[in-house]
């Protein structure tokens, strides 16, 4: 497992957001026909921002087993972020830190993440939540919804995996309730979203903010109907987008899908980030963007298609997103010496 880390730092693939001009230039410079190198863009806010970076780690899915391979993956992610030449001001952890929601798994995640040089902010995933309804996760990571300003940017994190109670009338135990969330395509929990109280909270949080404020939002799953059959969605994403609709620029990052994907609806750019545990396949639909899907060609490389992300916020409130994969096999062009 460690052998693949030799490539850390020199292989990067996919993605940037920024001004349209920069993106166009970069697309031409890098060559969009590489397939795995995709250029995305977000509208820039107009409020002045002090440039800085933040990083994203998502979906560690830690097990209770000692020295489990996913422990190593998360340690690799921490080492990758700590090794960045330009350190992030903070690291956002986008949920599913545990696989079964067990307290020891969540504690192990917190302990590994505590090795990051930068402070972390986290939101929960469905795997973290439904054994004890978030008790262990909240004890370890704090509030499930949060909002704060940093260098001119408003960061907002929300718990997006709330479903109506299907377990009480069925007489399910907590473990049985949790188990219905373990399968990607389980129909039992139904579509999840943010709580009604979170919608009200969000509206109050953003009400006083000027429209030109750059906004960065984090939810576990995407703020659009990517593939609801696998819960690649937030059921009230339309209402969330409406609440955030007054802003010039909103960048919305998510985990859960365990691969990179991009979409833009109105002012909101949605960016999916890789996991540190395993890559989910792309659903059988035509993607809005990119047309090219990540190429995980090396089945013998267990970290193929996994990694972290780094975002450099520019002075115009745009963000340059780099997906830092663990392994070069994600991008044969880079593996073969092409420099991005």
Residues making contact with Fe ion (CB under 5 A): 59, 96, 125-126, 256
Nearer Cβ to Fe ion (71/328): 71
- Name the minimum Å distance from CB 109 to Fe ion: 13
Q: Residue 295: exposed, middle, or buried by beta-carbon count in 10 A (0-12, 13-18, 19+)?
A: middle
Q: Are 176 and 184 in contact (CB under 8 A)?
A: no
Round to whole Å and give the CA distance between 43 and 25.
15
Tallying the residues shown for the chain, one arrives at 340
Q: Are 192 and 126 in contact (CB under 8 A)?
A: yes
Round to whole Å and give the CA distance between 218 and 327.
25
- Name the minimum Å distance from CB 305 to Fe ion: 13
R_g (Cα) of the chain, nearest Å? 19
Strand order of the β-sheet with 52-57 is 120-122, 90-93, 52-57, 307-313, 319-325
Q: What is the DSSP string of 79-123?
A: HHHHT-SS--SEEEE-S--BSS--HHHHHHHHHHHTT-SS-EEE-
Nearer Cβ to Fe ion (26/123): 123
- Name the minimum Å distance from CB 138 to Fe ion: 17
Nearer Cβ to Fe ion (102/126): 126
- Name the minimum Å distance from CB 225 to Fe ion: 16
Nearer Cβ to Fe ion (45/222): 222
Q: Residue 7: exposed, middle, or buried by beta-carbon count in 10 A (0-12, 13-18, 19+)?
A: middle
- Name the minimum Å distance from CB 67 to Fe ion: 21
Residue 259 tokens, joined:
């691969």
Nearer Cβ to Fe ion (125/214): 125
Residue 180 tokens, joined:
């219905």
Nearer Cβ to Fe ion (75/128): 128
- Name the minimum Å distance from CB 35 to Fe ion: 25
- Name the minimum Å distance from CB 18 to Fe ion: 28
Residue 135 tokens, joined:
């008790």
b/e burial code for range 24-62 (CB count within 10 A of at least 16 → b): eebbeebeeebbbbbbbbbbbbebebeebbbbbbbbbbb
Nearer Cβ to Fe ion (279/317): 279
Nearer Cβ to Fe ion (38/59): 59
Round to whole Å and give the CA distance between 340 and 12.
7
- Name the minimum Å distance from CB 258 to Fe ion: 6
């Amino acid at each position: 497992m460690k052998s693949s880390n030799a490539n850390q730092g020199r292989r990067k693939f996919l993605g940037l957001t920024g001004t349209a001009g920069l993106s166009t230039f970069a697309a031409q410079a890098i060559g969009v026909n590489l397939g795995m190198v995709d250029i995305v863009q977000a509208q820039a806010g107009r409020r002045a921002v002090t440039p800085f970076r933040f990083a994203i780690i998502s979906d560690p899915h830690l097990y209770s087993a000692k020295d489990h391979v996913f422990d190593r993956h998360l340690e690799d992610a921490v080492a990758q972020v700590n090794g960045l030449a330009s350190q992030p001001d903070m690291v956002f952890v986008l949920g599913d830190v545990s696989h079964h929601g067990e307290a020891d798994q969540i504690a192990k995640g917190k302990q590994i993440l505590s090795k990051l040089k930068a402070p972390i902010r986290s939101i929960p995933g469905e795997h973290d939540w439904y054994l004890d309804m978030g008790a262990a996760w909240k004890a370890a990571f704090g509030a499930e919804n949060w909002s704060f300003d940093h260098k001119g940017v408003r960061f907002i994190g929300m718990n997006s995996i709330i479903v109506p109670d299907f377990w009480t009338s069925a007489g399910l135990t907590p473990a049985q309730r949790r188990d219905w969330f373990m399968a990607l395509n389980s129909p039992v929990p139904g579509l999840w979203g943010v709580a009604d109280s979170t919608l009200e909270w969000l509206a109050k949080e953003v009400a006083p903010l000027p429209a030109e404020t750059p906004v960065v939002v984090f939810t576990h799953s995407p703020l659009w109907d990517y593939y609801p059959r696998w819960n690649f969605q937030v059921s009230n994403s339309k209402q969330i987008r409406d609440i955030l609709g007054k802003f010039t620029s909103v960048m919305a990052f998510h985990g859960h899908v365990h691969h990179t994907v991009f979409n833009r609806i109105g002012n909101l750019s949605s960016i999916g980030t890789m996991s540190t545990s395993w890559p989910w396949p792309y659903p059988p639909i035509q993607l809005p963007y990119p047309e090219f899907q990540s190429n995980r060609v090396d089945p013998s490389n267990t970290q193929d298609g996994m990694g972290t992300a780094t975002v450099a916020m520019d002075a115009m409130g745009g963000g340059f997103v780099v997906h830092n994969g663990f392994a070069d096999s994600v991008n044969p062009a880079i593996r073969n010496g092409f420099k991005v």
